[in-house]
Amino acid sequence: MTKTPGNKVYPNDALTIIYDVIEAGGCVCWIRNTVDDALSIFQQLLKDGKIPADDMLLFHSRFAFIDRMTIEEKTLNWFGKEAPVAARRGKVLIATQVVEQSLDLDFDCMISDLAPVDLLIQRAGRLQRHIRDAQGNCKRELPDERPSPVLHILAPEWQPDAQKAWLGEELRGTGYVYPDHGCLWRTQALLHQLGVIRMPEDARKLVDGVYEQMITAPPTLQTVSDLAFGKVLSQRSIAGQNLLRCDKGYDRNASDFMWDQEREFSTRLGEEGFDLYLAWLDDEGQLQPITNEDDFRWEKSRLSVRASWWAKYSGSLNCPNEDILEQFRTKQHRPAARVVLVSPDGEAPYYSKRFGLTGQI
């Protein structure tokens, strides 16, 4: 399959691409690298009013699990392999990395923010994933009758001698999510050089070209990459401290930290974060989850947020007092958990089933 990932676009170009695809009766996905960027473009599409609101969907990580399951189901109904033509036609998904893996999705057109080459390959795997006819019906055999697949990439102007702020304001969040700027630059350099690639034939060449550093990044960006690599080494050291020494058996000596009641372990590298629960106060002043479906109602009312996000927005959120919070932490065995108050149906000025947790009133 031939894909053309070198088609660099700007934000307004991306919107034009979306409108053109929808007018032609296709479906499109734009994968953004940060939740805030996804929210921003989704709100812009709603404001423009050119596409019915019911034909657009926002999917990111800052939804409570119960709402995320609903969105995931709708995403599969619209863009899954067996989705009927009527369900696919004219639909838009604005998403983050949550759609990179696991979900079997198939889009007629895709836009992506610049990302490391292996992630772009993953994202491209959702572009015309299944064989369809010109109307969008699944077929058993080639050829696919849709126009040739094109992965449009939101990227900065090509800069052979890029400096520290090369990503610009539009992709500032991308530089935070993917701190190895040398990797990002080499990805863009390789795509700029090749223009058109064939998948899966070119996958190894692309990955090796970026990660084996066959192209030398500008000195300024290499310095940024070296700092990012130093952080990776530090994270490996921290991970080593969290290891259980199996040869010690079920014993306090098996770990330096596992018996610390005030400590919660993370299974992922990255910025520190914690569980956030959405709840409402009943007439007796007791916290209640936003769903009462089954025994896992508190887990379905949970989402995760970064510590920096909480520091920035917590002042604008309605939270229970410390006594109620401590009672909740003790009962749920979550010493570091936070709780945000919403209505019984799970809505608030800073949270909605459509937008997720925005932190803004």
What does the DSSP assignment read for 228-265? HHHHHHHHHHHHHHT---GGG-SSGGG-SSTT-TT---
Examine the domain organization and report whether 287 and 204 are in the same domain.
no
Task: Give the predicted TM-score (pTM) of the model.
Answer: 0.87
State the average pLDDT for the chain.
87
Examine the domain organization and report whether 207 and 277 are in the same domain.
no
Examine the domain organization and report whether 143 and 290 are in the same domain.
no
CA nearest neighbour of 190 among 155, 166, 148, 227: 155
- Decide if pLDDT at 9 tops 80: no
pLDDT at 79: 97
Kindly report each contact of residues 213-222 with a partner whose C-beta sits within 8 Å and lies 24 or more positions away, as own/partner.
213/182, 213/186, 215/186, 215/189, 215/190, 217/181, 217/182, 217/185, 217/186, 218/160, 218/161, 218/162, 218/163, 218/185, 220/162, 220/163, 220/164, 221/162, 221/164, 221/166, 221/181, 221/182, 221/185, 222/182
Q: Is residue 263 part of a domain?
A: no
Examine the domain organization and report whether 207 and 298 are in the same domain.
no
Boundary (domain end) residue, out of 211, 234, 265: 211
Residues 6+ apart with CB under 8 A from 2: 148, 149, 196, 197, 198, 199
Residues 6+ apart with CB under 8 A from 123: 31, 100, 110, 112, 115, 151
Examine the domain organization and report whether 322 and 192 are in the same domain.
no
Q: Is residue 242 part of a domain?
A: no
CA nearest neighbour of 304 among 267, 274, 260, 340: 274
Q: What percent of the chain has pLDDT over 70?
A: 84
Domain coverage including residue 350: 273-357
pLDDT at 3: 47
Q: How many domains does the chain have?
A: 2
Q: Is residue 20 part of a domain?
A: yes
Query: Helix axis angle, 35-48 relative to 11-23, nearest 10°?
Result: 60
Query: Helix axis angle, 203-211 relative to 117-124, nearest 10°?
Result: 160
Q: What percent of the chain has pLDDT over 90?
A: 67
* Buried b / exposed e along 225-248 (16+ C-beta atoms within 10 A): beeeeeeeeeeeeeeeeeeeeeee
Boundary (domain end) residue, out of 211, 244, 265: 211
pLDDT digits (tens, 9 = 90+) for 296-317: 999 999 999 999 999 999 999 9
Q: Is residue 153 part of a domain?
A: yes
pLDDT digits (tens, 9 = 90+) for 78-87: 999 999 999 9
Boundary (domain end) residue, out of 190, 211, 232: 211
Q: What CATH number does the domain containing 75 carry?
A: 3.40.50.300
